[in-house]
Amino acid sequence: MQTIDLSKVGLRETNKMLQDQSADTNQTSWEIVNPRGSHAIACGLDAPIEVTIKGSTGYYCAGMNQQATVNIHGSAGPGTGENIMSGKIVIEGDASQYLGATGQGGLIVVKGNASSRCGISMKGVNIVVQGNIGHMSAFMGQSGNLVVCGDAGDALGDSCYEARFFVRGKVKSLGADCIKKEMREEHITLLRNLLDEAGIDADPNEFSRYGSARQLYNFHVDNAGAY
Amino acid sequence: MCGIVGLFLKDSSLEPRLGEMLTAMLITMTDRGPDSAGIAIYGGESAGRSKMTVQSDEPETAFADLAAKLQDAAGGPVNLTVKSTHAVLDIPAGSTGKVRAALNEMGIRIMSVGDSLEIYKEVGLPKDVAAQFDLAKMSGTHGIGHTRMATESAVTTMGAHPFNTGSDQCLVHNGSLSNHNSLRRKLRREGIHIETENDTEVGAAYLTWKMQNGATLGEALESSLQDLDGFFTFVVGTKDGFGVVRDPIACKPAVMAETDQYVAFGSEYRALVDLPGIETARVWEPEPATVYFWSHNDTPTATEKAA
């Protein structure tokens, strides 16, 4: 295992080392110590490596991730996993606002709570949160799945397209054009697989499904009041 | 973008280190606000005395015989401690109104009025502002600081934060208010003095106006959620503690940490990393549209206001 002391090596050098790993690298296990809430740690990775950050991170950690697994042993700042393409991000603590924004693939797991705008404009990423999520989550979500084992804040799934939301607890309010939907067998199976992949022990039967009512896809003058 | 830091000490043994801890937090927030910086510090009060922090661009001449000049207005002894462009006036309690009038006549700017509060703020990098006033050497029970990246108005001393909102009360702001012009006109009609074109000064004046009309600080903050349009994370300082409120959208970041020794606020977690025991502190984000208070007198409060 390679250990990098971020406070000594510096951010640019650290990220360059990680970004330089190729698909067949034999240095597959990395540890970053002393992150001290720094921004943009382990961004733009594109190799099947595992990076563990020992502490809390600032803005945009593991942004644009491909293939890599990034573990954050602490809490994560705003915009973590922004535009993730593939791979996995596991946050042991809480995640700040706009987690996984515009994410196109891969999996993000939060063991604590996620803040507002979780999964905003998600385009295929799967996000599993063991705790609660904040307001305006999955705003304009296009595809992918957002799983919340706790409660969701105001305006869940506002103006969403085909992203699916599974919430075990209460939803404070649903956003425009987001409705509660029937939980069919295929959804139970999907949810069970996501929870298994996230390593979270929860019964899929206890969740409710939410998604788009498909009334705001195209502009219609009768909907003007809803915009 | 701006940076906010705040530190409220529960453990009085840390009080001699308040300035040092708050200064380190402030400097960490430099890249959120390199234009100007300021700090409000509650250093304790003496019986029968009040404090005013004043500022002049020509401190040598303005402060030379200021104490003597203010003697009559103060109706008693005036002590003056000069710190660079600022000076702290120690005056008899109850004389702040007359001293304020005398200072206004002399064209000397008033940064803060109260019994315990001192405010220091200037244009420049946070580390330079901190060194200019030797902030790291200050002790106190609690304090708040601000690093400014100006968006709404000019980079000047008077545009820097914190803003004094009432006796021993101050405000720092991260965000931008979009209805500050109409609100400024309204408040001026109500007789509230507003000096600059700065949006936060209007926010501060709004709180002052509400409190002059009988609201408590908590009530004033709750009504700000209705009357202020725009983005804000506010941290307010009071004689006994500090309060935090974020607008319902809450896009301006805020992180809090609490241990047995302190409650700390930072725009980012980075600002908190050197605090003692941070590894085991309870760290969380304050909820939107919720007013939080920590006080040396009362139990902590959080009041939720529907968005």
pLDDT at residue B182, as a whole number: 96
Rg (alpha carbons) of chain B, rounded to whole number:
18
Mean predicted confidence (pLDDT) in B169-196: 93
Mean pLDDT of A139-166: 97
pLDDT for res B300: 53
Q: Which domain holds residue A195?
A: 109-227
* Per-residue tokens: B95: 């004389």
User: According to the model, what pLDDT value does residue B305 have?
Assistant: 47
pLDDT digits (tens, 9 = 90+) for B18-66: 999 999 999 999 999 999 999 999 998 889 999 999 999 999 999 999 9
pLDDT of residue A222: 77
CA–CA distances in Å: residue B252 to residues A155, B32, B225, B234, B242 = 19, 12, 15, 10, 18
Q: How many domains does chain A have?
A: 2
Examine domains B2-42+123-304 and B45-115 and report if their fold is the same.
no
Beta bridge partners of B105: none
Could A38 and B288 be called an inter-chain contact, meaning their C-beta atoms sit closer than 8 Å? no
Mean residue pLDDT of chain A comes to 96
Report the residue from A37, A116, A135 with minimal CB separation from B269: A37
User: Same domain, yes or no, for A158 and A218?
Assistant: yes
- Taking contacts as CB-CB distances below 8 angstroms, the residues of chain A near B250 are 97, 116, 134-135
pLDDT for position B119: 97
Among candidate residues A75, A96, A117, the one where a domain is terminated: A96
> For an interface test with A, which of B285, B290, B304 has the most A Cβ atoms less than 10 Å from its Cβ?
B285
pLDDT at residue A75, rounded to an integer: 97
Among B2, B4, B111, B144, the one annotated catalytic: B2
A36, A78, A154 member nearest B253 (Cβ)? A78
The Cα B50–Cα B39 span in angstroms is 19
pLDDT tens by residue, A84-108: 999 999 999 999 999 999 999 999 9
Domain co-membership, A119 together with A186: yes
Is B16 in the A-facing interface, judged by CB distances under 8 Å? no
What pLDDT is recorded for position A217? 79
pLDDT above 80 for A111: yes
Cβ of residue A137 closer than 8 Å to a chain B Cβ: no
Is residue A191's pLDDT more than 80? yes
Is A59–B268 a contact, with Cβ atoms under 8 angstroms apart? Answer: yes
Q: How far is CA B166 from the centre of its chain?
A: 10
Query: What SS3 class is residue A171?
Result: strand
Distance from CA of B84 to the nearest CA of A (A): 34
pLDDT per residue over B195-225, tens digit each?
888 999 999 999 989 988 988 888 899 999 9
Find the closest chain B residue to A78 by CA distance.
Answer: B253
The pLDDT of residue B301 is 57
Is there a single domain that holds both residue A128 and residue A216? yes
Is B2 a residue of the active site?
Answer: yes
What is the chain B residue with the closest CA to A114? Answer: B285
| One domain for residues A141 and A61 | no
Chain B contact probe: residue of A39, A116, A158, A172 with most B CBs at under 10 A: A116
In this prediction, residues A205-227 reach a mean pLDDT of: 84
- Interface check A106 vs B, CB under 8 A: no
Give me chain B's average pLDDT, please.
Answer: 93
pLDDT reported for residue B306 = 40
- Residue B8: band (very low, low, confident or very high) from pLDDT cuts 50, 70, 90: very high
Instruction: With beta carbons less than 8 A apart as the criterion, state whether B154 and B76 touch.
Output: no
What Å distances lie between residue B29 and B36, B138, B233, B265, B271, CA to CA? 11, 19, 15, 12, 6
Given CB atoms, is B143 within the 8 Å cutoff of chain A? no
Instruction: Say if residue A56 is in the same domain as residue A136.
Output: no
- B250 contacts A135? CB cut-off 8 A: yes
Choose the closest CB to B268 out of A58, A93, A115. A58
Asked if B87 contacts B70 with a C-beta cutoff of 8 angstroms, the reply is no
| pLDDT grade for A21, boundaries at 50, 70 and 90 | very high
What pLDDT digit, counting tens, does each position of B241-269 carry?
Answer: 889 999 999 999 999 999 999 999 999 99
Domain limits, chain B: 2-42+123-304, 45-115
To the nearest whole Å, the CA of B25 is away from the closest chain A CA by 13
Residue B297 pLDDT level (bands cut at 50, 70, 90)? confident
| b/e code A89-124 from CB counts within 10 Å (16+ = b) | bbbbbbbbbbbbbbbbbbbbbbbbbbbbbbbbbbbb
Mean pLDDT across the stretch B132-145? 97
Instruction: Mark yes or no for CB contact A135/B283 under 8 Å.
Output: no
Same domain? For A88 and A118 the reply is no
pLDDT of res. B215? 87
Residues of A in contact with B30 (CB under 8 A): none
User: Taking CB atoms and an 8 Å limit, are A116 and B250 in contact across chains?
Assistant: yes
Picking from A38, A75, A135, the nearest residue to B283 by CB comes out as A75
What residues in A contact B1, CB-CB < 8 Å?
A: none
Q: What count of CB pairs under 8 Å joins A to B?
A: 42
Candidates 3.40.800.20, 3.60.20.10, 1.20.950.20, 3.30.70.260; CATH matching B2-42+123-304: 3.60.20.10
Residue A103 lies in a domain: no
Compute the Cα dihedral for B104, B106, B107, B112 and give only its sign.
Answer: negative
Res A221: pLDDT: 79
A194 inside domain: yes
Q: What average pLDDT does the segment A27-55 reach?
A: 98
CATH H superfamily, domain B45-115: YebC, transcriptional regulation domain (3.30.70.980)
Same-domain check for residues A64 and A136? no
Q: Is residue A189 domain-shared with residue A223, that is, in the same domain?
A: yes
pLDDT given at position A130: 98
Distinct helix (H) and strand (E) counts, chain B: 8, 17
User: What is the per-residue pLDDT for B241?
Assistant: 87
Q: Are residue A114 and residue A219 in the same domain, yes or no? A: yes
Asked whether the beta carbons of A27 and A18 are under 8 A apart, the reply is no
A101 domain-assigned: no
Indicate if the pLDDT at residue A226 is higher than 70: no
Asked if A116 has any chain B CB less than 8 Å from its own CB, the reply is yes
| A69-72 and A88-91 strand pairing | parallel
